[in-house]
Structure 1
Amino acid sequence: MYYAEFSKKFETISGITITPFKKNSKEIDWSGVQENVEFLINKGVKVIVPCGNTSEFYSLTIEEAKEEIKRVVEYVNGRATVLAGIGYSVDTAIEMGNYAKEVGADSIMIHMPIHPYITNEGAFDYFQTIIEAIDLPSVIYFKDHHLSDDILFKLAPLEKLVAVKYAVNDLPRFASIVQSVSNEYHIAWICGTAEKWAPFFHHAGAVGFTSGLVNLYPEKSFQMLKALQSNNQEETWKVWREVVPFENLRAKYNNGNNVVVIKEAMEQIGLNAGITRQPVSKLKENDREELRSILNSWGLTQLSVK
C-alpha cells in the first residue's frame, strides 16, 4: 500500500533543481543550491529533483552528486518529496541510491543508461537490478526512443516502481503504453518534457509534468497544472502559447540550450544560477537577446521574483 500511495505524490510538478557553479573555479555554489531550493519550496513545489539533467547531472562527479542529494534533503527538511537522480553503471547507481536512502531522500529517479551498445533486454535488466537493490520508491527516466516500451510493460509489476518520467515525444506511443499497463500497478505517468508537451501528455494519460521553468517562473507552471487538472482548455492553451517560445529556445541545437537558457534567465532576473560546466556552453548573444525579450513579455524582473 505504501508504494501505491506514494505514486500519487507525482500528480503535480516535479521541479528539477539547477546546480550553480562559481564563475572562476566552477565549483558548486552550495549557498546558491540552498537559495534555489528555498525558492522552489516557497513557491509551492512539492517534488524536488536534485541530480536531474537540468541539474547538469553528467557534469558532476559521483561525490558531488551524492553531496547534492544530501544537502538538498537537508535544505528541504521534510517540506517536499525529494526525488534523487542516480545513474551511470549499475553498481554506481545502486551505491548512489543506497546513499540517497541513508541521507533521507524519499525516492530515486533512475536516469536512462548512457551507453553506445544498449539493447531492450539490457535496459530492462539495468532498471530491474537497480530497483530491486534499493529500498526506496523508484521512478524511471525513459528517454531513448530507440528502446521499446515493452521494457516498461515488463517492469510495471515491480512493487517499488511508482512512476515513469516519459521523455519520448511520441504521443500515440505514450498513450499506448499507458493504456497497456494495468492500473493495479499504480504507475504515475509523468510528462518528462516540460510545459510545452504537458497538455498533450496529460490528455494521453500523464498525471504530472517535469519543469525547469519552475526555477524562475513557478507561477506560470502552476497556472498550467491547475488548468490541466480542472480541464480548462482555454486557460491551458493560453499558458501554452506563453511558454512555447521559451521552451523552443531551450530546444535549440538538439536541446543544447536546455540548461543554459534556464540559468541565463535566472541570472537576468536576479536569482543565483551561476555558470554552466562543460560540455554545456554559454548562451549565444542572439539567443540571449531573444530570452531577454521573452522575460520582458512575461514582466519578469529582479523585483518580481522576490
Structure 2
Amino acid sequence: MSRFTPSEVRRALNGISGILVTPFDAQDRIVPQRLAPIIDKAIGAGVHVLVANGNTSEYYGLRYSETEAMVQAAAKLVAGRVPLLGGVGRSVGEACDLAAASQAAGADALMVHQPPDPFVSPRGVVAYVQRIAEAAPGLPLVLYLRNESIGMAAIEALCRIPGVIGVKWASPTPLLLAEAIRRTRDLDLAWVGGLAETWAPVSYAAGARGFTSGLINVLPERSMAIHAALENSDYATARQLIEQMLPFEELRAQESNGANVTVVKTALRLMDMDCGATRAPSAWPMAPQSLETLKVLLRSLQGPAS
C-alpha cells in the first residue's frame, strides 16, 4: 500500500527522481538486495524520489517476472522513506499487469514509459494510458515522454487523464516543453526534466522543476548539489557543477548511448557496490581506454562538489 498521498508525490517530483539500476549476479540472475547500500546512500544524500523499472534499470532487458520482483524488492528496501515510482510499459496487457503488481507492492505512483511500438497512434496512446490508470485505481501516474511525435493535442489529452500528476519530458525541445506547460497550467502538473543533469538548466528555464538521474546510483551528492543550485536560480553554479560531471556523461554517451548504464554499473563495481554486468544490447564491458578514464575520473569526483 502506498505511504504517500498523490499531493505528496507531486511535491517530491520537484526534486530528483533517481532511477535505480537492476543488479545481476554472475549467472545473470537479479539480486535485488545489492540495491540496499545504493538506496541508503541516495536517501541519505537527500534524493527525493526513487524509481524501479526505469531505463537505467534496463527495463526493456528484463523479463516480466523480473520487473515484478524488482518493484517488490525496491518497495521493501525503500521502506517508505521517500516516494517510490514503479515503471510500466511494453504491451498494454503487460503494462496493466505490472501496474496492478506495483500498486500491490506498495509503489506510490506509476511511471508510464512511452510505447516504442512503430505503429503508435495519438488516440491509441491515450487509450493505452487510460487502461493503465484503470488497472491501478487511485494510484497517481507520471508520463514519461521521450519524444513529442504524437503531437501537442495528444500530449495535452494525456495530461488530462484523471490520475496523471506529472510528466517527465525527455526530449531536447525546450520550446515545446514550455508550450506543453502553458497548455496545461490549470492542472498544476509536475513537469520534470527527463534528460538528467546536463539538460536540467534548460528544462528549468522552460518552466520544469526537478530532473531524473541515473548518476544518483554512484554520486548522489553531486546530483543534489546541482539541484540545490537550480532551486536557488544559481545557474552559474549549476553549470559549473555540471561541467565537472561532463566527462562522466560523455563516457555514458559512447557507442550511440549504449554505454549509458554500462558506465554506471562499472563505476559501482569500482566503488565496491557491484551490481553485475549490463544485458545486451547494452555495451558490456567498457572499452579498456574508457575504463582507465573512468577510474581516474572517479578518484577526482569522490570528493565534495565545489
TM-score by length of 2: 0.92
Q: How many residues align?
A: 298
Q: Residue 176 of structure 1: CA displacement?
A: 1.5
Structure 1: tracts of 5 or more residues without a match: none
Partner of 2:23: 20
Q: Percent identity at matched positions? A: 33
Distance of 1:274 and 1:8 partners within structure 2: 34
Q: Residue 7 of structure 1: CA displacement?
A: 1.4
Partner of 1:162: 165
Q: Contact 2:196–2:212 at 8 Å: present in 1 too?
A: yes
Partner of 1:152: 155
Q: Contact 1:4–1:185 at 8 Å: present in 2 too?
A: no
- 1:181-212 per-residue CA deviation (whole Å, 9 max, x = no partner) reads 12x31210011110000111011111110001
Distance of 1:78 and 1:5 partners within structure 2: 12
Distance of 1:115 and 1:234 partners within structure 2: 40
Distance of 2:134 and 2:188 partners within structure 1: 17
In structure 2, what residue type is equivalent to 1:7? R
In structure 2, what residue type is equivalent to 1:81? P
Distance of 1:144 and 1:234 partners within structure 2: 28
Q: Contact 1:90–1:130 at 8 Å: present in 2 too?
A: yes
Q: 1:31 to 1:133 in 2, by over 3 A?
A: closer
Equivalent residues in 2 for 1:96-107 (5 A)? 96-107=98-109
* Match status 1:171 vs 2:174: yes
* Match status 1:8 vs 2:20: no
Q: Contact 2:75–2:107 at 8 Å: present in 1 too?
A: yes
Higher deviation after alignment, 26-35 or 99-108:
26-35
Q: 1:293 to 1:146 in 2, by over 3 A?
A: farther
Aligned-pair Cα RMSD in Å: 1.7
Equivalent residues in 2 for 1:1-306 (5 A)? 3-4=6-7, 6-23=9-26, 25-135=27-137, 136-182=139-185, 184-282=186-284, 283-299=286-302
Structure 1 residue matching 2:229: 3-state secondary structure: helix
Q: Residue 296 of structure 1: CA displacement?
A: 2.7
Distance of 1:243 and 1:33 partners within structure 2: 23
Q: Residue 48 of structure 1: CA displacement?
A: 0.9
Q: Residue 36 of structure 1: CA displacement?
A: 2.1
In structure 2, what residue type is equivalent to 1:169? P
Higher deviation after alignment, 206-215 or 115-124:
115-124
Q: Residue 145 of structure 1: CA displacement?
A: 4.3
Higher deviation after alignment, 291-300 or 158-167:
291-300
Distance of 1:83 and 1:242 partners within structure 2: 29
Structure 1 residue matching 2:111: 3-state secondary structure: strand
